[in-house]
A and B are shown apart, each in its own frame.
Chain A
Amino acid sequence: MNEQPNPDASKLEALQNARKQITRSLLLAAAALGVIAFACYAWFVNNTSVTGSLGSVSAKGSIFELASKGSNGGQYTASTPPEYVVEKGEDWKKDNSTIGTSTAGKSAIVWQLDKDNNSHLNNIEGITEQGIRPGSFGTLQFYVIPQINGSLNLQFDLELIPVLNSDSNLTVNTDTLNQLMHGHMLFSYQCDKATNSNETLIPLENPSFTLNFDNVSVDQEILVTLKWIWPNLLADVKSNELQGVCDGEGIVDLMKKIPSYFFYNDGKQVDSPDLNNKFQEYNNYFNAADQYLGERINWLIVRMTAQTA
């Protein structure tokens, strides 16, 4: 007589197997979590040069800070709309002397400026020109201050934020405005201490870049320089007279790929330019683009955000 399988027994066996698997998986997850926690803890403990206790480092919450040098926050004029003024950062001291203002503990601070840094951009002592226009150019500098020893990879996002002229009754197409702004206000970056600073023009369509640093040390600042220009003439671009900000030939190539970033024809689509045979036509579109920007934008906010890559 054959023994019939007991259905309850096989169910019980399956259940026991499942219990084992769940227990095993949870143990595995707990072990992985333990490893991650241990690794993070070990990572901090290893940074012996970080001042303060582990608690104060975690309160800082960043493995880097940004800083800028300048005599004051004087890039703001009396007529700057107060809603666009961000707070000043904290003094960044090194060897008991103040050498800049850092973002420590702040998400956004005023970019400090002086005569050598950011010429033409703002109302700074020693520079009479106020505001920017086609033909303006200058530099913007800032410092990365590592809060770790070792390697550091950072992504930088450049934002150009237009503050529109509220007195103007001209219509504004946001896409057109943003594209023309990025095509006419060109930025490049340079950092001698980065291992990958070969590319210089900050991309127009996605204005961000990364810098990789090897062997950084806590509080040893790293200078990053941005150069910028608002080209005056299409002829300046064609003849590569761009104050060393970027390569004119490269910009002409970009004009062929993304003409809507450079040319404006009363809202109509502009074809890829033929600057050899139709220079005057595209010169008019180029100037109309500057006019489009100049008539609509009252203030321009320049913002640089860094985060770990």
Chain B
Amino acid sequence: MFHKFRDKKPRQLTIIAVSLAVLVLITAAVGTRAWLSTRRTLQTITKVQYYTLDLIGSNVGTIPINLGEINIINENSKEIEFGVLSKPGTEYLLQLGHTTNLPLTYKIYHLTTGENGETRTEITGKYLNKNNTTNLAETEGKYHSATYKSSDPVQKNAEPLYWVSNSGQCVCEASGTDMYILEISWDPTDISNITDKETEMIFLTAGLEVQNTQ
């Protein structure tokens, strides 16, 4: 085998020889270490059960909660109680969506119980597709595609209006449960406008102030 190295210079031959020796040593060392450094593993698995927000209503823990029926005879409003479960201090938004078949007015109150009894505080907010004078859902079809996932036209009262509470209005209490009342009212002198129709769709949702989409 040495004739292959005949044309090499002595320094090159020395380098080759030393390299070979080092290679043998490294192979031996790595082989021994790999043999000694066997890995051992323990493993377990658990379910992650978590919600940040949950709505409770007449059917506890179900989504959507059941808002029930509205009896308009001899009354001018209906109150529906619901709650929000979350971590204390969590800021969230309440969102209300409803169709416009009936001339109803919606208000949401936060219920607190103290030494002076029950206190109601109205939650302020704004409609996203309606201003003081114009129903933008009707005139511009605002949020139509978000609602129906298509551009096909629908009857004008089936275009829902979306209301959202103002930032900072809803902060979960230390108990982890906030109670609210959704008040739906109507003009008792204008019952005919209501009795001629029968269905209104109302959606109530709660979401964190910090979006969670990406």
Q: Which residues of A pack against B, CB within 8 Å?
A: 11, 14-15, 17-19, 21-22, 25-26, 28-30, 32-33, 36-37, 40, 58, 61-66, 68, 75-77, 79-80, 84-86, 103, 106-111, 113, 118, 121-123, 130-134, 140, 142, 163, 170-171, 173, 176, 232-235, 264-267, 280, 283-285, 287-288, 290-295, 297-308
Contacts and interface: CB of A to CB of B under 8 A. Distances in A.
B32 interface: yes
B209 interface: yes
B5 A18 contact: yes
A108 B43 contact: yes
Contacts of B44: 75, 110-111, 113, 118, 121-122, 140, 301-303
B14 to A, nearest CB: 5
B90 A111 contact: no
A298 to B, nearest CB: 6
Given A33-B25, A280-B91, A301 B47 contact: no
Nearest to A155: B37
Contacts of B61: none
Q: Chain B at the A interface: mostly helix, strand, loop or mixed?
A: mixed
19 contacts: A18-B2, A26-B21, A30-B24, A58-B35, A75-B46, A108-B42, A121-B44, A134-B50, A163-B45, A171-B213, A266-B214, A280-B91, A287-B87, A287-B90, A293-B50, A297-B48, A298-B47, A304-B42, A305-B40
A307 B88 contact: no
Contacts of A58: 35
Contact of B21 (A17, A25, A85, A307): A25
Given A26-B21, A266-B212, A18 B14 contact: yes
B128 interface: no
Contact of A287 (B41, B48, B52): B52
A17 B14 CA distance: 9
Contact of A25 (B18, B39, B45): B18
B20 A18 contact: no
B58 to A, nearest CB: 25
Interface of B: 2, 5-6, 8-10, 13-14, 16-18, 20-21, 24-25, 28-29, 32, 35-52, 87-91, 208-214
A80 B45 contact: yes
Contacts of A25: 17-18, 20-21
Contacts of A15: 2, 5-6
A103 B42 contact: yes
Contacts of B211: 266, 288
A290 B48 CA distance: 11
Contacts of B32: 36, 40
A82 B50 CA distance: 22
B39 A305 contact: yes
B90 A22 contact: no
Contacts of A130: 47, 49
Given A29-B25, A266-B212, A18 B43 contact: no
Contacts of B35: 58, 61
A302 B43 CA distance: 6
A206 B106 CA distance: 53
A302 B208 CA distance: 29
A228 B210 CA distance: 27
Contact of B28 (A21, A32, A293, A307): A32
B39 A290 contact: no
A307 B41 CA distance: 9
A290 B52 contact: yes
Contact of B47 (A17, A264, A299): A299
A147 to B, nearest CB: 10
A308 B37 contact: yes
A300 B46 contact: yes
A14 B10 contact: yes
Contacts of B29: 36
A131 B48 contact: yes
A292 B17 contact: no
B172 to A, nearest CB: 9
A22 B20 CA distance: 9
A77 B52 contact: no
In this complex, the member of B8, B18, B40 whose beta carbon has the largest number of chain A beta carbons within 10 angstroms is B40
B52 A107 contact: no
